[in-house]
Amino acid sequence: MTQLAVTVDRRSPVPLYFQVAEQLEQSIMAGTLAPGTRLPNEIVLADQLSLSRPTMRQAIRYLVDKGLLVRKRGVGTQVVQSQVRRSIELSSLYDDLIRSGQHPTTTVRDLRVVPAPEEIADALSLAEKAEVIRIRRLRYAQDEPLALMTNYLPQGLVDITPEKLEQHGLYELLRAGGVQLRVARQTIGARSATVAQARDLHETKGAALLTMTRTAYDDVGRAVEYGTHLYRASRYSFELTLIER
Amino acid sequence: MTQLAVTVDRRSPVPLYFQVAEQLEQSIMAGTLAPGTRLPNEIVLADQLSLSRPTMRQAIRYLVDKGLLVRKRGVGTQVVQSQVRRSIELSSLYDDLIRSGQHPTTTVRDLRVVPAPEEIADALSLAEKAEVIRIRRLRYAQDEPLALMTNYLPQGLVDITPEKLEQHGLYELLRAGGVQLRVARQTIGARSATVAQARDLHETKGAALLTMTRTAYDDVGRAVEYGTHLYRASRYSFELTLIER
DNA sequence: TAGTGGTCTAGACCACAGT
DNA sequence: CTGTGGTCTAGACCACTAC
């Protein structure tokens, strides 16, 4: 095992562990660190980079949590045998499409304040019939319809207009309004398209659709968004990485 | 903020951070620590339990990663505003059903050695046409069909028989054979049932089905299982928790 | 300005894997 | 046995938040 192509800049404001993790990640993605490769042990790595062992461990743990490395006590740390595609993160469909080079556009079909139905009030921890903002949108990617989305937000969080929604993702607007999303709980299922859904999505009645409902929470634990979405299964799927421990 | 009902036993072989995390988790689940509750800061907590700050941090980080707590620099650590249901983990459908009190049974429809199709050889990082074990099963929960499952495994990993598969989950057999699963990559989608699938699953032709394909890796990064499953959307869905950072 | 979590160090001892 | 990662300590300084 030779030296790794990693350097750290102690003047940088970027945390040391993160500089290391990012460079290792790039090497793995580029194939310089091939699947199956065993890394030197923590102590050696820490010495090579003049870091303390806990800091080196933090870098490695970051990549283990991402599913790029696996470690086994008494054995060592190795690169996982797989080319990784990007998997679900706490970002919106809009962000995902932008990143994957698609060209998302959005039509806002409805935006109004409504009394919260029981299910939504529950999910957002609001009093029943509290007023919430309801948004219905149709999302296109490369000029083909992709998803029908309905979202509910507590009032007063951020200023939302149809114009903004057609130019930005909902999560982008939330972040711009100072809302830091931290946790989301999702349920993914499937159903057959109704006539109206089929018409909107350019499918035929009965076509398989993916359903996703999500409640998102901010950095102080408040529920800030509830969404229920319908995706064309012919054009969309969810990828995820699971880690044991 | 009063004392937390947490104690640690230093003679126990269970790591201290884990003892703390488990007890906090129980308090959260039981409602003793209500959603929105703010925890004392790390230093105080560590002192109360006579632990070092890093150890206390590790306990908290564990729960943050699980989506039960959120933290914000300069502010503090709070309980997330939501009742959590169990979400997808690196376990098999069989394990999940057992845990949720259902009564899964399994019919093995086929178990044989076949030359690996290109797609499977790729996923498992094997030579094309290497021989693999192919398993086709039908899973029932409470006497109703739930899922049609096809799995591929490299030969020689563990000893698998139809009898064992009808009494245990596949992952259980792998673990019993010394295979430690660590990472899995999944894709979740939807499709309409064919006539044959509909017959097996007691659905009608064209019914919406959830699809899941998964490649699982062990603790040294080897691909050890590839599966492609079909679930009745009317009786099954996936739950997951996403964490930012 | 006071209080919080985020990062970092330099050690120590232990449990487990493979020889 | 040797080598690996897992746990734990007791400090230090910094960045961010809220008042």
- Compute the distance between CA of residue B35 and CA of residue B58 in angstroms, rounded to an integer: 21
Q: What is the pLDDT of residue A3?
A: 64
Phi, psi at B65, each rounded to 5°: -65, -25
pLDDT single digits (tens) A116-139: 999 999 999 898 889 999 999 999
Cβ of B87 near strand C (under 7 Å)? The reply is no
- Which residues in chain A have Cβ-Cβ distances shorter than 8 Å to B85? 185
Mean pLDDT of all residues in B2-12: 83
Distance from CA of B15 to the nearest CA of A (A): 14
Q: Which of A21, A89, A30, A26 is nearest to A60 (CA)?
A: A21
- Compute the distance between CA of residue B33 and CA of residue B25 in angstroms, rounded to an integer: 9
pLDDT at A245 over 90: no
Q: Which of B129, B111, B110, B113 is nearest to B121 (CA)?
A: B129
Nucleotide with smallest C1' distance to residue B75 CA = C4
Q: Which domains are seen in chain B, by residue range?
A: 16-79 (1.10.10.10), 84-239 (3.40.1410.10)
Other beta carbons less than 10 A from residue B103's beta carbon: 10
Q: Do B90 and A186 touch (CB under 8 A)?
A: no
Residue among B36, B207, B220 minimizing CB distance to A75: B220
pTM: 0.92
Mean pLDDT of all residues in B216-220: 94
Locate the DSSP E strands across B97-194: 104-115, 131-141, 144-154, 181-192
CA of A8 to C1' of D11 (A): 24
pLDDT at A195 over 70: yes
- Which residues in chain B have Cβ-Cβ distances shorter than 8 Å to A81? 125, 217, 221-223
The residue to which tokens 């999944």 are assigned = B186
pLDDT at A98 over 70: yes
CA of A14 to C1' of C11 (A): 26
pLDDT at A211 over 90: yes
- The DSSP H or E segment spanning A11 is none
Determine the straight-line distance between the first and last CA of chain B, rounded to whole angstroms: 28
Nucleotide with smallest C1' distance to residue B72 CA = C5
- The DSSP H or E segment spanning A189 is strand A181-192
- Compute the distance between CA of residue B123 and CA of residue B215 in angstroms, rounded to an integer: 7
pLDDT at A153 over 90: yes
Alpha-helical segments (H) within chain B:
16-30, 42-48, 53-65, 93-99, 118-123, 162-167, 170-176, 195-201
Determine the straight-line distance between the first and last CA of chain A, rounded to whole angstroms: 28
pLDDT at B84 over 70: yes
Q: What is the pLDDT of residue A1?
A: 43
Which one-letter DSSP state was computed for residue B117?
A: P
Residue among B182, B186, B243 minimizing CB distance to A183: B243
Cα-Cα-Cα-Cα torsion B15, B21, B22, B25, nearest 10 degrees, comes to: -170
CA of B217 to C1' of C13 (A): 32
pLDDT at B1 over 60: no
Mean pLDDT of all residues in B30-47: 93
Nearest Cα residue in chain A from B64: A183
pLDDT single digits (tens) B53-78: 999 999 999 999 999 999 999 999 99
Cα-Cα-Cα-Cα torsion A109, A111, A114, A120, nearest 10 degrees, comes to: 80
| Lowest mean pLDDT, pick from A194-198, B128-132, B185-189 | B128-132
Mean pLDDT of all residues in B191-195: 97
Residue among A70, A90, A181 minimizing CB distance to B221: A70
Rg (CA), chain A: 22
Average pLDDT, chain B: 91
- Compute the distance between CA of residue B226 and CA of residue B130 in angstroms, rounded to an integer: 14
pLDDT at B28 over 80: yes
Q: How many helices (H) and strands (E) does chain A have?
A: 8, 10
Burial, A27: exposed, middle or buried (Cβ in 10 Å; 0-12, 13-18, 19+)?
A: middle
Interface-testing mutation among A57, A182, A192, with chain B (most B C-beta atoms within 10 A): A182
